[in-house]
Structure 1
Amino acid sequence: MKPIKVLIIDDSALIRSLLREMIASDPRLEVCGAAEDPYQAREMIKQLNPHVLTLDIEMPRMNGISFLKNLMRLHPMPVVMISTLTQVGAPETLEALSLGAVDFIGKPKQNSDLGLSQYRDEIIRKLICAAGANVTAMEGVERAKATGLDAQTKSKPLKSNFICAIGASTGGTEAIKAVVSSLPINSPPIVVTQHIPPAFSTSFAKRLDGASAVKVYEAQHQQPIEKGCVYIAPGDAHLKISKTAHGYICQLDSGEMVNRHRPSVEVLFDSVCEQAGKHAMGVILTGMGADGADALKRLRDAGCHTVAQDEATSIVWGMPGAAVKLGAAAEVLPLSKVAANIIQHALK
């Protein structure tokens, strides 16, 4: 099998050198070139025909966001953003994902907590995953008409104790936005785990809140869970729920990683299954790996309705694909139908 051709785009000679060395260490990948700015990259893409790009956000002459916007319009292809994983860098990185970047990773630092060998493993995993991503999956994904769903929730009451849990990874920020922004104000409570770094979850929740009729929060420990609200797991803690005399509350757990993740979709789904039983619904969206697939099966076995996103609309059909193979999904749906399905099962 021919190696995956990677083009590095970064204005720092040191970063280009580090990335080249790391990527070239895996026989499945080949660095076909390295550009120091988007203008040079544009010519190299034509000449070298790479399978996947790494793209820096902060560059002279043209920034990564402007370049990505043009690239996805004229020549859509898999892109992994190399970004500053800080609160400051979060809005730009989330914008890059909304423009069609498949994934992102921080800049390699020799003095970072994530050692260079761990960083190398992570970027190799992300590049291989990105090379197989369906970069046009989100094209033409229609938002369900919130007005139509609103009419449904006004004509019928919501089931008491109903709660929906959603899990996602690669491609998930935009998939979750497509679902949540389609929900009417009078929606059931929804808890969400998206694999995301600690500095990004606050920005993600704010961005989602601004695009939605429902209220979106970054979940706080012991925060009451209410109808018409969505709770996003913080980037450094597992999100669980507890049932009290007054309803469900959020519980945050900074314990060990599960399936290499914290927050983990499996932890959320198992908690919802334990606390809500057959009153729960589980939804697994686009993502690399299999986090949450086994737990979605346990939800289905407990009598819950379960949904997996279909392959055609998934950026990466890893997690939903694993769930489908296990028989964990009662329904496999295109992204545009997920919000309506949640409302349908939440109504009495």
Structure 2
Amino acid sequence: MAKDKIKVLIIDDSALVREVLTEILNADPNLEVIGTASDPIIARNKIKQLNPDVLTLDVEMPRMDGLTFLSNLMRLRPMPVVMVSSLTEKGADITLRALEMGAVDFVSKPKLDVAHGLKDYAEELCGKVKAASGAKLQNYSWDSGPTLETQERHTADAVLNKREVKNFKTTDRIIAIGASTGGTEAIKEVLMHMPADAPGIVITQHIPEAFSGPFAKRMDDNCAMTVYEATDGQQILPGHVYIAPGSHHMLVERSGARYICKLSDGPPVNRHRPAVDVMFRSVAQNVGPNAIGVILTGMGDDGAIGMKEMQEAGAPTIAQDEKTSVVWGMPGEAVKQGGVDVILALQEIPNKLIGLYK
């Protein structure tokens, strides 16, 4: 028996965007656009009539703004939502707020040549809508899913060759966290419960360049540690968090007795830049048993190989469990690869981290 298609309702005030999104989604054999709406008021009625599985929602809408609509939706009729977001500071802030309110994911809307730009993201958009249809709706959600260019799939070897682990003459600890779909809210949940004197934390979250800075600022406002969007050569210090920029891989390197952030514009790895596998490998090679690895909710398998390398280097490793993950792709694959020491609910991870480094 043929599998039922995922039913999608598109909500966007631009007729051109509605047309392009419809064309892209209907081209996927597993998706069907069952309706479109130019504003949330029309959308509200179409949801009742058509019963879609997933909504795509523009962040800025007439008659009722996207956030108000999303808030009402999640209160009265929770369902998976993928935000269609502008690559602007305002668009990033609205999108991050939408993810806090329960949106599963987002896709960026190009500022120029919208029709052509969205077609370039066809595979990404379809992948995120399909992932959203099976995602768990919780108080935390999100990512930037795969940067799905139709190109050769690189491993971490494209950025950093695998080699023997160095000897370690420092006891400084580093916590390395990787995440994707649902990750912004999962990361916030972990950071909010970490004390101000925790070891330095490095984070790779799949996220576009325009969003990593606002995301870092949002985290800085919500936790006791000091949070930065990482810069090249920045020293990694206790009490500080370093989030990979959306345009670069982030590696951890040694500089004398210090650890520093090293940024690379090497090719996408597992179709992502930044990639979790690149960061985890660098941590395995340069921090070894003085590190702790954490892999959180996310679509795909990025980070699974790198986490195994961290474990082999003597680092304790933790994966978020399936029940509290929006999508149990990345942590599930890390478990399958055998690189995970312990599987925990999201709310249990901060205390486990504190127990491991104290």
Range moving further from structure 2, 333-342 or 239-248 = 239-248
Partner of 1:342: 353
Partner of 1:100: 102
Aligned partner of 1:298 among 297, 300, 309: 309
* SS of residue in 1 equivalent to 2:293: strand
Partner of 1:192: 203
Matched-pair contact (CA < 8 Å) for 1:138–1:313: no
User: Cα deviations across residues 103-146 of structure 1 (Å, max 9, x unaligned)?
Assistant: 1112267737985543111111110011110113649xxxxxxx
Please report how far the alpha carbon of residue 12 of structure 1 lies from its aligned counterpart in structure 2 after TM superposition: 1.2
User: Cα deviations across residues 11-60 of structure 1 (Å, max 9, x unaligned)?
Assistant: 11111111111111111001111111111111111111110000011111
Matched-pair contact (CA < 8 Å) for 2:6–2:130: yes
Partner of 2:54: 52
* SS of residue in 2 equivalent to 1:88: helix
Please report how far the alpha carbon of residue 274 of structure 1 lies from its aligned counterpart in structure 2 after TM superposition: 0.4
Which whole-Å CA distance do the structure 2 matches of 1:231 and 1:300 have between them? 22
User: Cα deviations across residues 137-192 of structure 1 (Å, max 9, x unaligned)?
Assistant: 649xxxxxxxxxxxxxxxxxxx9221110000111000000001111111011100
Q: How does 1:1-348 map to 2 (within 5 A)?
A: 1-107=3-109, 111=113, 115-136=117-138, 138=140, 160-347=171-358
Which whole-Å CA distance do the structure 1 matches of 2:247 and 2:354 have between them? 30
Which whole-Å CA distance do the structure 2 matches of 1:114 and 1:263 have between them? 24
Range moving further from structure 2, 109-118 or 309-318 = 109-118
Matched-pair contact (CA < 8 Å) for 1:308–1:333: yes
Which whole-Å CA distance do the structure 2 matches of 1:251 and 1:39 have between them? 48
Matched-pair contact (CA < 8 Å) for 1:284–1:320: yes
Q: Gaps spanning 5+ residues in structure 1: where?
A: 140-158
Q: Gaps spanning 5+ residues in structure 2: where?
A: 142-169
Which whole-Å CA distance do the structure 1 matches of 2:114 and 2:350 have between them? 40
Identity of aligned residues (%): 55
Matched-pair contact (CA < 8 Å) for 1:233–1:263: yes
* SS of residue in 2 equivalent to 1:89: helix
User: Cα deviations across residues 81-110 of structure 1 (Å, max 9, x unaligned)?
Assistant: 001022231110100011010111122677
Please report how far the alpha carbon of residue 8 of structure 1 lies from its aligned counterpart in structure 2 after TM superposition: 0.4
Matched-pair contact (CA < 8 Å) for 1:189–1:228: yes
C-alpha spacing 1:223/1:45, structure 2 compared with 1 (3 Å): same
Code of the residue aligned with 1:339 in structure 2: it is: P
What CA RMSD, in Å, does the superposition of the two structures yield over aligned residues? 1.7
Which whole-Å CA distance do the structure 2 matches of 1:63 and 1:21 have between them? 25
Which whole-Å CA distance do the structure 2 matches of 1:272 and 1:55 have between them? 38
Which whole-Å CA distance do the structure 2 matches of 1:298 and 1:224 have between them? 23
Matched-pair contact (CA < 8 Å) for 2:209–2:246: yes
For this pair of structures, how many residues does the alignment match?
Answer: 328
* SS of residue in 2 equivalent to 1:287: coil
